[in-house]
């Protein structure tokens, strides 16, 4: 593969675009395929650096959607999250939470499968307690849904973090 300045000179001398002579250069520089908008991949949610979360939250201007079943980790990893979200909402950023219903059969079955002392319903209730002081803040809302128990989607304007269901991460 010629050095870039030689490729450019050859393309210019021949009057064609560099990609005509060396299409693999474009494929190596510009990502193609169905994952071309994927910026980073982490093997699991907790492997994503806290700084990525902080940056996404801080930079969101119009919408933040936190659709994790418990969202418990957010309050642990971002101690001033309630204050940040309140300020965002006051600046016209719409903030939505989708949580599992702590009293649903789906949650009960998940607790049975996990069999850990800090239950799924307890983690949901911790998030609800953290959200309680924000209840009257315009632009912040929370709803229950059980369809997303294994899939979490976190949207920050036009960027997302997605946690696929176990077994669908491409890991053996």
40-92 pLDDT, tens digit each: 778 778 888 999 999 999 999 999 999 999 999 999 999 899 999 999 999 99
Helix, strand, or coil here: 142?
A: strand
Q: Which residues contact 128 (CB under 8 A, 6 or more apart)?
A: 99, 102, 142
pLDDT (mean) for 145-151: 84
Distance CA 113, CA 161 (A): 25
pLDDT (mean) for 111-124: 95
pLDDT (mean) for 2-30: 78
Please report which confidence band the pLDDT of residue 166 belongs to, taking 50, 70 and 90 as the band edges: low
Above 50 in pLDDT, residue 171?
no
Above 60 in pLDDT, residue 167?
no
Burial of 19 from C-beta contacts in 10 A (0-12 / 13-18 / 19+): middle
Helices of type H across 15-150: 18-21, 23-29, 50-59, 72-77, 81-90, 105-114, 120-131
pLDDT at 170: 47
pLDDT at 172: 38
Above 80 in pLDDT, residue 141?
yes
pTM: 0.75
CA dihedral of 87, 93, 94, 100, whole degrees rounded to 10: -50
């Amino acid at each position: 593969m010629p050095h870039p300045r030689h490729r450019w000179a050859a393309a210019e001398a021949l009057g064609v675009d560099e990609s005509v002579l060396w299409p693999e250069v474009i494929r190596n520089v510009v990502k193609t395929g169905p994952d071309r908008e994927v910026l980073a991949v982490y093997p699991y949610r907790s492997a994503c650096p806290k700084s990525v979360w902080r940056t996404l939250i801080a930079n969101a201007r119009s919408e933040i959607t936190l659709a994790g079943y418990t969202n418990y980790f957010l309050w642990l990893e971002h101690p001033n999250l309630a204050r940040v979200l309140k300020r965002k909402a006051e600046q016209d950023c719409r903030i939505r939470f989708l949580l599992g219903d702590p009293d649903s059969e789906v949650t009960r079955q998940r607790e049975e499968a996990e069999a850990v002392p800090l239950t799924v319903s307890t983690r949901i209730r911790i998030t609800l307690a953290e959200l309680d002081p924000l209840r009257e803040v315009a632009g912040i809302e929370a709803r229950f849904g059980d369809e997303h128990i294994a899939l979490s989607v976190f949207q920050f304007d036009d960027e997302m973090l997605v946690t696929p269901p176990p077994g669908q991460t491409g890991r053996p």
